[in-house]
């Protein structure tokens, strides 16, 4: 894999350069991620904060998760695309939400596990051989 991998929001106002591989990539089936993605699940790449750089203006929205942790979302104020999530109590990692601009990113952002399958839509089947977790591992 050749780095950096680059991506942007839908309108292009916010962009990123990811300089190293994600720590992990997961598909989350929780109700909140279904709302976020407007699909059966949301793909998230957990990356080291120092391994990624962003350009463009972002706005922020925060909520308290079921775990009791604060989950903040950064998003593009122009097109509304989520860019990443983070826990303000642990700024060492971020949860990147954007797809890359190049085909190489397809490989980088392939989920290796499916989380919150206890809230999975009944008509979606998780691929065989993938790790699954009822909730957050």
Q: What is the pLDDT of residue 103?
A: 62
- pLDDT mean values, one per 10 residues, the chain (137 residues): 87 94 92 85 94 97 85 94 92 86 71 92 93 89
Q: What is the pLDDT of residue 118?
A: 93
Q: What is the pLDDT of residue 15?
A: 94
Q: What is the pLDDT of residue 67?
A: 77
pTM score of the predicted model: 0.84
Cα(18)–Cα(44) distance, integer angstroms: 14
Q: What is the pLDDT of residue 86?
A: 94
Q: What is the pLDDT of residue 102?
A: 64
Q: What is the pLDDT of residue 37?
A: 83
Tell me which residue has tokens 């942007």.
Answer: 8
User: What is the b/e burial string over 10-35, where b = at least 16 CB atoms within 10 angstroms of the residue's CB?
Assistant: eeebbbbebeebbeebbbbbbeebbe
């Amino acid at each position: 894999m050749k780095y950096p991998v680059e991506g942007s929001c839908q309108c292009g106002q916010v962009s990123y350069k990811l300089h190293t591989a994600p720590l992990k990539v997961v598909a989350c089936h929780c109700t909140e991620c279904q709302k976020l993605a407007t699909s059966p699940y949301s793909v998230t790449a957990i990356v080291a904060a120092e391994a990624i750089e962003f350009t463009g203006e972002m706005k922020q929205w925060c909520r308290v998760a079921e775990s009791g942790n604060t989950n903040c979302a950064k998003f593009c104020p122009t097109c509304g695309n989520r860019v990443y999530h983070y826990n303000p109590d642990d700024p060492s990692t971020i949860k990147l939400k954007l797809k890359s601009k190049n085909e190489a990113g397809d490989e980088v952002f392939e989920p290796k596990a499916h989380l919150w399958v206890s809230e999975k839509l009944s008509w979606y089947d998780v691929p065989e051989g993938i790790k699954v977790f009822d909730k957050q591992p």
